[in-house]
């Protein structure tokens, strides 16, 4: 139990890091700062998006692999308990999480291709769209993970 809990916490920490990175990049891309960044929000928007690409890909892969590993334990412990408690909506959103995670994984090669340096103007629109879509997927998965984890409470 300690092993899987540790793994879950590491998975959560990686997800938080990924969430920060992809949110930073998406905001900087969609709401770029035109003038000198002064406030915290303006500085948040002023980061160079290209410097996040490698980190986001590695963090996504690490988070995905850890999630896929923990999923084996979830399938015959937590999920069975959720079904017995008739928490079908929680089970359903968790099923959606596996699909969202897979779609995010599928997007990564194109995400990398659109962010290659020097940035191509041909892919400017696609770069914005794919980055936003990836950010939405990461946010959705993060929130669903929280819901599933909170369904029975930590350590119950």
Partner 1 sequence: MMSSDKAAVFTITFGVACAVLYVICTEVNLPLLTYHPVIGELDPLWTPEKRGPVMYWYGWMLTSLIGASALAFAATAVPERWLQRAILVGAFAAVSYLILYTLALFVYDRASIELALLQSRWLSAVIAVAAAALLGCLAPAGWSERLWPGWVWVVPVGALAVLGYYLSPYFTH
Exposed e or buried b per residue across 99-122, where buried means at least 16 C-beta atoms within 10 angstroms of its C-beta: ebbeebeebbeebeebbeeeeeee
Q: Which of 134, 26, 141 is nearest to 93 (CA)?
A: 141
Judged by CB under 8 A, the residue of 91, 138, 144, 151 near partner 1 is 91
Residues 6+ away with beta carbon under 8 Å from 101: 64, 67, 68, 137, 141
88 lines the binding site for partner 1 (CB under 8 A): yes
Under the binding rule (CB under 8 A), the answer on residue 139 touching partner 1 is: no
Does residue 4 touch partner 1 according to CB under 8 A?
no
Instruction: Report how many residues bind partner 1 under the rule CB under 8 A.
Output: 37
- Told to check if 75 binds partner 1 by CB under 8 A, we report yes
Residue 123 in the binding site for partner 1 (CB under 8 A): yes
Q: d(Cα 37, Cα 62) in Å, to the nearest integer?
A: 32
Q: Report the interface residues with partner 1, using CB under 8 A.
A: 68, 71-73, 75-76, 79-80, 86, 88-89, 91-93, 95-96, 98-100, 102-103, 105-107, 109-110, 112-114, 116, 122-123, 125-126, 129-130, 133
């Amino acid at each position: 139990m300690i092993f899987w809990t540790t793994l879950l916490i590491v998975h959560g920490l990686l997800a938080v890091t990924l969430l920060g990175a992809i949110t930073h990049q998406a905001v900087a891309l969609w709401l770029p700062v035109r003038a000198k960044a002064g406030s915290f929000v303006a500085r948040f928007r002023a980061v160079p998006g290209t410097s996040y690409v490698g980190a986001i890909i590695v963090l996504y892969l690490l988070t995905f692999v850890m999630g896929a590993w923990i999923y084996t334990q979830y399938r015959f412990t937590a999920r069975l308990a959720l079904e017995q408690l008739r928490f079908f909506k929680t089970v359903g959103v968790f099923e959606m999480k596996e699909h969202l995670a897979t779609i995010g994984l599928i997007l990564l090669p194109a995400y990398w291709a659109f962010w290659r340096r020097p940035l191509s103007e041909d892919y400017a629109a696609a770069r914005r769209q794919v980055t936003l879509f990836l950010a939405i997927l990461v946010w959705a998965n993060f929130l669903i993970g929280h819901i599933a984890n909170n369904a029975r409470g930590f350590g119950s």
